[in-house]
């Protein structure tokens, strides 16, 4: 039975490239490495980058990764799939080609998948009568009061079939914008095994492969809540590899001779990560039933996954709008023992009165006492408050005006002498940050998929 080896080389924009490089060198018979760089908010951030510089808008990880990975992958026949193209996949493609040319990697084929960016078509969709109803609030876009001028990006979530088609055209590297995280891994399986797009159980199996690998270090003991103390050598963590069979069963393992852990517990923890309804994990490719998944520890750092069931895919694609949503500013000051929390709370009382007296128009104010309740909020226990050695008082505000956001820090600074004692901390003056918000919605797939393009470039 044919088996394909796929590695998860990146879990987020900013992840370290070292485990992927080690995987490419050490894993025998490795066929593919998928690099998942995007989140919903990442696209809006990348669009802001592109506004500042038309040559940007892709994940800058590619600058550090590609010069080191391409020679290894080219020599060993490993294909690379990345959604690091972000909001400018054309520029990402050009960067990879330029890098390969400089390295003398003749014959390398790079595929570009575009069509997810539908910002320019947003007025068209509204004219056609699509409500673009917010999936969280139920509000219709036209009735929301949101000006389309504030929308910075609109991206549809594409499926794995476009990745598979790029591979079928001979690509060694596939660069995309917003395809689903799992599509980076299901795409190679569609291509290699020739799975039919109506074979729901096998498609669901490929989605589970992708879901388990997409966060890279998180399935091999990173961020592991079930026993992090016992995970060995996280300083040299090995990223995950799936050995996938044609029937859809697979084994999750990791790069040999590395740190980390692949166990029944680490796999099931990742399986449920960011899953709202395990009965219906909806993707553009299939409705996967995660409750059907069976896990079995079959060796050291080896977990077998089987029994996966799927249902027909939805007729709509998720479309996410990112839009400008005001300004945020924050400021902090540190108080030491004794009575560190009481001092910080008094500082908050004083500062809020000052902000009111100065008639600053903040639409939201949030205060946190770091070391006490910044994570636990109202669940923080006051029983330990008196024992705290130090507390950082942090205040954050939201406003529609950048200049009013700037005022926050200036009003906090006098507390160094005019507030409770033991105030300290050499905190840098933060600059106001533009806030971005998300508007998730749905559109019929026939409005998106016919416009997707695949371009192949060869050195």
390: domain CATH number?
Answer: 3.30.70
Which runs of E-coded beta strand occur in 337-432?
364-370, 390-399, 423-424
Residues 208 and 339 reside in one and the same domain:
no
48 and 164 in one domain?
Answer: yes
- Is 82 inside any structural domain? yes
Q: Is the pTM of this model over 0.95?
A: no
Show the 3-state SS of 338-364.
Answer: CCHHHHHHHHHHHHHHHHHHCCCCCCE
Per-residue pLDDT of the chain (459 residues; tens, 9 = 90+): 899 999 999 999 999 999 999 999 999 999 999 999 998 889 988 998 998 999 999 999 999 999 999 999 999 999 999 999 999 999 999 999 999 999 999 999 999 999 999 999 999 999 999 999 999 999 999 999 999 999 999 999 999 999 999 999 999 999 999 999 999 999 999 999 999 999 999 999 999 999 999 999 999 999 999 889 999 999 999 999 999 999 999 999 999 999 999 999 999 999 999 999 999 999 999 999 999 999 999 999 999 999 999 999 999 999 999 999 999 999 999 999 999 999 999 999 999 999 999 999 899 999 999 999 988 888 888 887 878 999 999 999 999 999 999 999 999 999 999 999 999 876 677 889 999 999 999 999 999 999 999 999 998
Statement to judge: residues 96 and 22 lie in one domain: yes
Asked whether residue 65 is assigned to any structural domain, the reply reads yes
CB-CB contact of 448 with 97 (8 Å): no
| 286, 411: one domain | no
Residue 149 maps to a domain = no
Q: Which of 270, 289, 314 is the last residue of a domain?
A: 314
Domain annotation covers residue 140:
no
Same domain membership, residue 184 and residue 253:
yes
Domain-embedded: residue 124: no
CB 20 within 8 A of CB 73: no
Q: Indicate whether 197 and 74 sit together in one domain.
A: yes
pLDDT at 392: 95
Statement to judge: residues 359 and 402 lie in one domain: yes
Looking at 282, 314, 346, the residue that finishes a domain is: 314
Query: Do 348 and 299 sit in the same domain of this protein?
Result: no
Domain assignment present for 351:
yes
Residue 183 and residue 290 share a domain: yes
Q: Examine the domain organization and report whether 23 and 101 are in the same domain.
A: yes
Q: Are 352 and 405 contained in the same domain?
A: yes
For residue 72, being part of any structural domain is answered with yes
Residue 225 token pair: 């809540």
Do both 205 and 261 map to the same domain?
Answer: yes
Domain of 326? 322-439
Backbone angles phi, psi at 351, to 5 degrees: -65, -40
Give the contacts of 33 (CB within 8 A, at least 6 positions apart).
Answer: 6, 7, 8, 9, 20, 23, 24, 69, 73, 78, 79, 80, 81
If one counts the domains in the chain, the total is 2
Long-range contacts of 353-362 (CB under 8 A, 24+ apart): 354/411, 355/397, 355/408, 355/411, 358/407, 358/411, 360/397, 360/399, 360/404, 360/407, 360/408, 360/411, 361/399, 361/400, 361/401, 361/404, 362/397, 362/398, 362/399, 362/404
Residue at which a domain ends, from 262, 292, 314: 314
State residue 426's pLDDT score: 66
Residue 456, in any domain of the structure: no
């Amino acid at each position: 039975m044919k088996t394909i080896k796929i590695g998860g080389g990146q879990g987020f924009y900013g992840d370290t490239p070292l485990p992927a490089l080690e995987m490419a060198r050490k894993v025998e018979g490795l066929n593919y490495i998928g690099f998942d760089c995007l989140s919903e908010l990442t696209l809006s951030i990348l669009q802001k980058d592109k506004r500042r510089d038309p040559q940007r808008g892709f994940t800058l990880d590619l600058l550090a990764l590609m010069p080191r990975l391409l020679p290894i992958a080219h020599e060993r026949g490993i294909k690379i799939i990345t959604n690091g193209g972000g909001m400018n996949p054309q520029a990402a493609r050009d960067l990879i080609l330029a890098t390969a040319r400089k390295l003398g990697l003749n014959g390398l084929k790079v595929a570009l998948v575009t069509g997810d960016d539908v910002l320019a078509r947003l007025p068209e969709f509204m004219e056609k009568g699509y409500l673009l109803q917010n999936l969280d609030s139920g509000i219709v876009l036209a009735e929301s009061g949101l000006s389309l001028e504030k929308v910075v990006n609109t991206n549809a979530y594409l499926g794995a079939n476009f990745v598979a088609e790029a591979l079928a055209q001979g690509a060694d590297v596939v660069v995309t914008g917003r395809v689903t995280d799992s599509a980076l891994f299901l795409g190679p399986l569609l291509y290699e095994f020739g799975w039919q797009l109506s074979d729901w159980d096998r498609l669901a199996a490929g989605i589970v492969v992708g879901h388990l690998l997409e966060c890279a270090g998180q399935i091999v003991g990173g961020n592991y809540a079930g026993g992090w103390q016992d995970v060995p050598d996280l300083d040299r963590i090995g990223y995950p590899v799936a050995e996938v069979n044609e029937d859809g069963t697979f084994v999750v393992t990791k790069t040999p001779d590395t740190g980390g852990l692949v166990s029944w517990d680490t796999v099931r923890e990742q399986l449920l990560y960011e899953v709202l309804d395990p009965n219906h994990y909806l993707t553009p490719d299939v409705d996967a039933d995660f409750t059907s998944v069976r896990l079995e520890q079959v060796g050291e750092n080896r977990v077998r996954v089987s029994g996966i069931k799927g249902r027909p895919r939805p007729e709509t694609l998720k479309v996410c709008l990112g839009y400008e949503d005001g300004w945020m500013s924050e400021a902090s000051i540190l108080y030491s023992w004794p009575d560190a929390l009481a001092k910080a709370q008094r500082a908050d009382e004083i500062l809020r009165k000052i902000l009111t007296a100065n008639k600053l128009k903040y639409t939201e104010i949030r205060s946190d006492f770091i070391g006490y309740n910044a994570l636990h909020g109202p669940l923080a226990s006051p029983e330990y408050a008196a024992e705290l050695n130090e507390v950082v008082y942090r205040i954050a505000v939201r406003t529609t005006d950048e200049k009013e956001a700037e005022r926050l820090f200036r009003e906090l600074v006098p507390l160094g002498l005019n507030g409770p004692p033991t105030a300290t901390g050499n905190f840098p003056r933060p600059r106001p940050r533009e806030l971005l918000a998300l508007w998730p919605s749905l559109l019929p797939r026939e409005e998106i998929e016919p416009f997707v393009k695949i371009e192949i470039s060869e050195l």
